[in-house]
Amino acid sequence: MGATLRLAARWARTVPRTERTREWILVVEGLLQGAVDDEHTGHLSLRAVAERVAAAEAQAAEGVAAAEAVVAAAMADEEELRELIAEETAARLPCHEVAVLLRELACTAYPSGRTRTSR
């Protein structure tokens, strides 16, 4: 998935500004929306981990046997979480690509620069 996103971003960057159409804008907006969604999903994953840690701490407070079981489960979970983080990171559009696409979208949508609006 990440390779496809990077290829799409590379394609979008190579389209000359004079040839960018409404469809180009929609594709770039979709790529940027996907990046935002991926970031949100990442935060939800971290929140779930924090909740599991809090639950494990509560269990550990119940006794030594529970604490040993929690430690063993945490060690197994840690390796699984490292793999999950690596997979999620590889599947995302890199931040520098997001920044370039956002800049190019702004330059395409506002070729003369940002216009002022009255308040």
pTM (2 d.p.):
0.65
pLDDT tens string 17-76: 999 999 999 999 999 998 888 877 776 776 777 777 677 777 666 666 666 776 677 767
Q: Would 83 be classed as within a structural domain?
A: yes
- Confirm whether 119 is domain-assigned: no
Residue 119 has pLDDT above 60, yes or no: no
Whole-angstrom distance, CA of residue 119 vs CA of residue 11: 38
Residue 118 within a domain: no
| Domains identified in the chain, total number | 1
Domain that holds residue 12: 2-109
Residue 75 lies in a domain: yes
The answer to whether residue 62 is domain-embedded is yes
- Does residue 92 form part of some domain? yes
Q: CA–CA separation, 68 vs 19, rounded Å?
A: 63
- The mean pLDDT of 81-96, rounded to a whole number, is 80
In a domain, 82, yes or no: yes
